[in-house]
Structure 1
Amino acid sequence: MLHKIKLEHILFLDIETVPEFESYHRLSDDKKLLWEEKTLYQRKDEFTAEEFYDRAGIWAEFGKIVCISVGFFHFKEQDREFRITTFSGAEKDLLKAFSALLDEHFFRPQHLLCAHNGKEFDFPFIARRLLINDLKLPAKLNLFGKKPWEVPHLDTLELWKFGDYKHYTSLRLLTNVLGIPSPKDDISGSDVRNVFYEEKNTDRIIKYCEKDVVAIAQVILKLRQEKLLAAEEISSVSS
């Protein structure tokens, strides 16, 4: 089935998220209480709600998106090119720009979105933040009423599970075992909050995010048993 999908019909993506505010103290009293209740199970007795706030970026209700990187294949005769672009800046603005890309260029029935653990994280996180920002859901993220086989999403984590639903493999581990250059050669997901709020270095986060997008595309190529992308086949385009 994977071999029947045309690579140019897939939009590969990754998002980076951080807590909505730099400090727990900027939350309203109501939001502090809701945060405490939301994280009680994860924190147990090890952390206070305030100490745990650094991890708020993994929940769409308490976090925000700082960039969305996307990549797609372009073929011309015998040549292939993997083009990457990133949407960043104010969250509402980057969500509008990403939605416009989907609505204008990746809206047809054959088009698919692809991410690693995308079905559990990236796709629902984007959808929730769109609605929180009073923005319309693009068709590719509006899953209301859709049957499982109608959902236009690919997930490299799900593909690697081969039906073993209790199995989890990080993108870093997956690229390692498949012989793909690691995208985690600078920062990791746990560093993004500090790089954003303390270093104020969004460019560093964007580079990290774009490397993940390339890695996800490489995983798909590997699963199709096709030649991996060479550095000269990868290019950046302005968003």
Structure 2
Amino acid sequence: MNGDADYHAVLADLKERREGIDAAIKTVEGIIVQLGLTPGSAKIRGTQDLPADAFLTLTIPEAAIKFLGMVRSAQSVAQIWEAMKQGGLTHTKYNAVYNALFRRENQVGDVVKLPDGNWGLSEWYATSPSLKRKVKSKTVSAEPQEAKAPPKREGLTVVDATERVLREVGKPLHANVIVEKLREMGKETSAKSIAGTLPQDPKKRFKNLGKNLWVLVEK
């Protein structure tokens, strides 16, 4: 044994390194808890795989982050909203989710809106220069511009606007998705209203394929 070695210094160095490792472990554990991950947890396919109590006791932003971490892919506001209701936040309103995501992006920056309108976790896009600039540019005082009510389009009813939406996408859409697209056009409605209004269309333009999934009837 080397009697000249400063074992006190070596011990102090090891303890300092241990403190750093312990801090890193706590950080990773926090991320795991936040994302709702468990050892060996698999990627979920969607809301159908969510436990009914997945988001109980969580705030809307916390639930959104947890869901994105579980599904591991960008999601629309409507998809995140549906997941929250499936996971226990049954009384959550669409607008509350919509506004909460924008506030979270502006104030914290751990979620980000993508060019296609979907939402993801900022950490997924660390190598994307445009999205990195977007996250860095957020300030606490900024207000989400998209959260403001869009201007109303005159002369276009909700039913006519629904026809336009379905014709543009060219495929069946669930009422929740139709509602989201109508909001972008300045039309306020709900999935329940869609289910009650479209069957009453005098032109018989719409068909319910089941479970509020709508398609245009081509004549």
- Is TM-score (shorter-chain normalized) higher than 0.5? no
Structure number with higher strand proportion = 1
TM-score category of the 2 structures, normalised to the smaller one: under 0.3
Structure number with higher helix proportion = 2
Please, what TM-score do these two structures have when normalized by structure 1? 0.24
Q: Which has the higher contact order (CA 8 A, sep 6+)?
A: 1
Please, what TM-score do these two structures have when normalized by structure 2? 0.26
